[in-house]
Amino acid sequence: MLSHDILGVVERQVRTWSADDAEVYAAAVGGYSPAFAIPLLQHGGPQLGLTGADMTQVLHAEQSLWLHQPLPMSGSAVVTKTVTDICDKGSGALVVSTWESAYASTRSSCFVKGEGGFGGPRGETRKFAVPDAEPRVSFFRTAPNQALRYRETGDVNPMHDDPEFARRAGFPTPILHGLCTLGITLRGKDFTELHVRFTAPVTPGDELRIEHWDSGEFRASVGDRFVLIGVSSNTFG
């Protein structure tokens, strides 16, 4: 059972990265973007620290990123992680964690199936939508080993490389990291803030249809199934 004692827990670590790490990220997602800051800050994956949770029942639901200053290709920073909320969604619990540094902050929401009904607050729900206008469309065929490539960025969740673990989670084969799909969707883009919701899994080998709007909204789909939706902006000028 998910331990609610993790609420408010604070951890501090020093993260150091190099241009080689940025190149590993770019190779994993097909190109570089400021979304590199997400795996950099939450090294190991957004699911880490969910004490007591059955990890086969954990899904990455949402992610946000705020850049406070341009992220150098190499550097070092103190990162402070805090579990900021545990929301009762009925069928499960939504655990919200933040990672703060001088360069950037990121927030991750993980849905833990079967852990709801404890009487806690439901929490706020961000609304996502796309404009009634034609987007710019591109396509990206993920590789059969795409999840293994992304694993090199530090996200070691077995959901993405262990077939037996994936089957126990209800998937016929390992699925792609949501953050890998996000990185592919945003490759080559420039932004200082983003918010995204992951809506369906991607299987390595799937072809992504990627849509971007000039106002910052973006969306990706596999066939007729939307897999993520989000919005980004640039405040550095």
Active site residue 160: yes
Decide if 162 is catalytic.
Answer: no
Phi and psi dihedrals of 233, rounded to 5? -150, 165
Residues 21, 43, 85, 160: which is the catalytic one? 160
Interatomic CA distance for residues 153 and 185, integer angstroms: 17
Give CA 15 to chain center in angstroms. 18
Catalytic residue among 21, 85, 155, 206: 155
CA separation, residue 30 to residues 143, 198, 209 (Å)? 10, 19, 14
Query: Cα Rg for the chain, rounded, in angstroms?
Result: 17
Residue 28 is encoded by which pair of tokens?
């994993």
Strands 10-17 and 136-141, bridge-based pairing: unpaired
Contact (Cβ atoms closer than 8 angstroms) between residue 180 and residue 147:
yes
Paired sense of beta strands 104-113 and 136-141, if any: unpaired
- For the annotated catalytic residues, the residue numbers are 155, 160
